[in-house]
Amino acid sequence: MHTHTHARYIHAFGPAVLTRFYDPLVRLLLREDAFRSQLVAHLQLAPGQKVLDVGCGTGTLALLAQQRHPGVEVHAIDGDGEVLALAREKAARAGAGVRFERAMAWELPYPDGTFDRVASSLMFHHLAADDKRRTAEEILRVLRPGGALLLADFGSPRSPPGRAIAGALRWFERLAHRRDDDLVHRFDDNLADRLPAVLTGAGFSEVAEIDRFGTAILPIAMVRGHKRRDDPEA
| CA angle, residues 27, 33, 35, in degrees to nearest 5 | 100
State the Cα–Cα distance between residues 24 and 70, nearest whole angstrom: 26
What is the spatial distance between Cα 74 and Cα 164, in angstroms, rounded to a whole number?
Answer: 38
In a structure prediction context, what are the per-residue pLDDT tens digits for the chain, which is 234 residues long? 333 444 444 444 444 445 555 555 665 556 677 888 999 999 999 999 999 999 999 999 999 999 999 999 999 999 999 899 999 999 999 999 999 999 999 999 999 999 999 999 989 988 988 999 999 999 999 999 999 999 999 888 766 565 666 556 655 555 554 554 544 457 778 888 899 999 999 999 999 999 998 777 788 899 999 999 987 655
Give the type of residue at 106. Answer: W
The CATH homologous superfamily to which domain 16-226 belongs is Vaccinia Virus protein VP39 (3.40.50.150)
- Classified as helix, coil or strand, 46 is coil
Instruction: Give strand pairing partners of 11.
Output: 14
Domain ranges of the chain: 16-226
Closest by CA position to 94, among listed 122, 123, 65: 65
